A and B are shown apart, each in its own frame.
Chain A
Amino acid sequence: MDEAALILEAKRGDITAFNRLVLAYQDMVYNQAFRMMGELDAAEDATQEAFISAYRSMHSFRGGSFKGWLLRIVTNACYDELRRRKRRPTTPLEPLDDDDEEIESPHWIADPGETPEESTERQELSQAIQNCLDQLPDEFKAVVVLVDLQGVDYTEAASVMQTPLGTIKSRLARARLRLRDCLQGFWELLPAAFRLVEESKS
């Protein structure tokens, strides 16, 4: 069954059809939530909440990009939670292990294909990226995560954020400028092969 048919079934309340869409998009939705929230548990909650909310408002989906629609829902869910936290800030900066010790390099970043050294550097870099993202205003963070981490184009980002294209452009530029300052010095951590490939691409 293709996506359009699944969406149609889901709009009629078919939870099985909707769950097939969940399986197809849960990594993307979770990534957006994780990069927005910067925490595993909060990302999980936001993801689950987003899917529940999406199911409940399936009737309001009027076609277009389902992916963009889901991204909008999860981004809004993250906004709500982040705003709530600003009113009552209580969250730890690092995830905790079983003994309530902070995990500096969480296991979820690990890539078994890398050497231990590369893996360590990559984890360090990933953590650095997250730390820098966390310092951005929520609206900047949402755009840069959408475009640079999710690979969404400007038009779709504008539709997700429900802002004009020019706003996306300007927020993205300012976010990148801030991240440039924050991420200075991490360039060397990128694997050489990766650097070359990426530079030749852009």
Chain B
Amino acid sequence: MTKQLSTHDWEILSAYLDGELTSQEQTRLEHSLQQRIDLQQALDELRRTRIILRSAARVRAPRNFSLTPAMVGGLKPSRKPLFSFNALRFSSALASVLLVLTVIGEWFSFSGPLATQVAMVSEPAAEAEFAPPEAAMLPDSTTNAADLRQSITEEPSPKALMAPEGTPAPTYGLEALSVAETETTVEEPAEGGEPLVGAFLAETPLAEEAPLLEAVPPLEEAPAAEVMNATETPVTEVAEQPAASQPTVVAAADSGETVAVQSDTTDPVLDPRLSWRLAQGVLLALALITGLAAWIIRQLQRSRSR
């Protein structure tokens, strides 16, 4: 019989049990209850159901759910990782600046001979190893070698030094790589007569730079994402340079610093230069390591806050 009750009837009965009816509704229902057995029965069943439900044992929390600062670390990151991140970023930038200073110092000490020597030294092996695919198109391999010398040097970019993402160090070597790409192409307008090639090659996809990246040992750990950033700044700088009619001079004028890779091609007789290189190598490593550490810390913080 109770099956004939409407949904509304059940709602009224249910609310009645909870004392949630208005006094008017309550009076009306109580009046109906006296006359209808099916309503009484339904109310009884609901009451029993309600009692059974209310008899359900309350469970106790099986453990303490107190929060620790680590659990909510993403919301309010503690100062410590933030500090170490800034400290690492700063030391990376500082090492980079010192690296640039040593390079400038070296350049002043050995300006003439260094540039000439570097440009004149012909190393077919290194050429084959470092040359990008386009190099094959260039008729003059000596010029190309000179370009490559320059290509593994880099122009210190103040922008990169102050990059907010804490990635200045890895940027350096990669900047050099992109210079390598672009410098080769600057050569081309003179010979091929296509001024737009430089712009085209500036957009050379990452894949083509990959072999170069691996050829330079200290850069192997550099995160790929930074390669993309690194390729932007130097491209324009190089594009504005005068045509490399005299590769030697250009190389000397533009080389802010010389990467450790170059030490392979350096004459071991020049001891003072070796000490310069050693200092540069140490600074470069320091800049890379601290920069990488800062990057890792940043990634950890991000993943925790997610």
Interface pair A30/B71, CB less than 8 Å apart: no
CB of B61 closer than 8 Å to a CB of A: yes
Distance (whole angstroms) from the CB of B52 to the closest CB of chain A: 5
Q: Which residues of A contact B60 (CB under 8 A)?
A: 27, 30, 108
19 contacts between A and B (CB under 8 A): A23-B64, A23-B66, A29-B65, A30-B61, A47-B61, A48-B65, A111-B57, A129-B52, A130-B56, A149-B56, A154-B15, A172-B14, A173-B7, A174-B7, A174-B10, A176-B10, A179-B49, A179-B52, A194-B51
* Contact of A140 with B by CB under 8 A: no
**Would you call A52 an interface residue if the criterion is a C-beta within 8 Å of the partner chain's C-beta atoms?**
yes
**B59 contacts which of A56, A109, A174 (Cβ < 8 Å)?**
A109
Which residues of B have CB within 8 Å of A51?
65, 67
Cα distance, A187 to B75, chains bound together (Å): 49
Binds B, one of A11-19, A60-68, A83-91: A11-19
Q: Which of B40-48, B162-170, B185-193, B293-301 contacts A (4 or more CB under 8 A)?
A: B40-48
Q: Does A199 contact B (CB under 8 A)?
A: yes
Q: Does A144 contact B (CB under 8 A)?
A: yes
Residue in A34, A125, A130, A169 whose Cβ sees the most chain B Cβ within 10 Å: A169
> B11 to chain A: which residues have CB within 8 Å?
169-170, 173
**Chain A interface (Cβ < 8 Å from any Cβ of B):** 13, 15, 18-19, 22-23, 26-27, 29-31, 34-35, 40, 44, 47-48, 51-52, 55-56, 108-109, 111, 122, 125-126, 129-130, 144, 147-149, 151, 153-154, 169-170, 172-174, 176-177, 179-180, 183, 186-187, 190, 194-195, 198-199, 202
Given contacts A148-B54, A198-B54, contact A55 B64 (CB under 8 A): no
Which listed residue (A27, A147, A149) contacts B18, Cβ 8 A? A147
Residues of chain A with a CB closer than 8 A to B128's CB:
none
Q: Is B246 an interface residue (CB 8 A)?
A: no
CB-contact partner of B76 in A13, A147, A202, under 8 A: A13
Find out whether the CB atom of A198 lies under 8 angstroms from the CB atom of B55.
yes
Let me know if B13 is at the binding interface, CB within 8 A: yes
Residues of B within 8 A of A170 (CB): 7, 11
- Say yes or no: B51 contacts A22, CB within 8 Å: no
- In the assembled complex, the CB of B196 is this many whole angstroms from the nearest CB of chain A, namely 52
CA A175 – CA B14 in complex, angstroms? 10
Residue in B15, B18, B52, B58 whose beta carbon sits within 8 Å of that of A125 in the complex? B52
User: Does B52 lie within 8 Å of A183, measured CB to CB?
Assistant: yes
Complex contact B53–A148 (CB within 8 A)? yes
**Among residues 59 to 97 in chain B, which have CB atoms less than 8 Å away from a CB atom of chain A?**
59-69, 71-72, 75-76
Closest to A50 in B: B65
Asked if B65 and A47 sit within 8 Å, CB to CB, the answer is yes
**From A108, which residue of chain B is reached at the shortest CB distance?**
B59
Residues of B close to A153: CB separation below 8 A: 18, 20
Chain B contacts with A in 1-26, Cβ cutoff 8 A? 7, 10-11, 13-15, 17-18, 20
B304 at the interface (CB under 8 A from A): no
A194 to B55 CA separation, bound complex (whole angstroms):
8
A149 and B54 contact, Cβ closer than 8 Å, known pairs A34-B59, A169-B15, A176-B46: yes
Instruction: Say how far A116's CB is from chain B's closest CB, in angstroms.
Output: 16
Asked if B67 contacts A126 (CB within 8 A), the reply is: no
Q: How far is the CA of A108 from the CA of B47 in the complex (A)?
A: 27
State how many angstroms separate the Cβ of B46 from the closest Cβ of chain A.
6
Closest A residue, CB atoms, query B45: A180
Tell me the minimal C-beta distance from A172 to chain B in angstroms.
6
CA distance A26 to B14 in the complex (A): 29
Nearest to B48 among chain A residues (CB) is A187
Inter-chain contact B61/A27, CB cutoff 8 Å: yes
Q: Looking across the interface, which residue of chain A has its beta carbon closest to that of B58?
A: A31
User: Taking A23-B64, A26-B61, A172-B14 as contacts, is the C-beta distance between A183 and B55 under 8 angstroms?
Assistant: no
The answer to whether A202 and B14 have CB atoms under 8 Å apart is no
Inter-chain CA distance A32–B64, complex, in Å, is 16
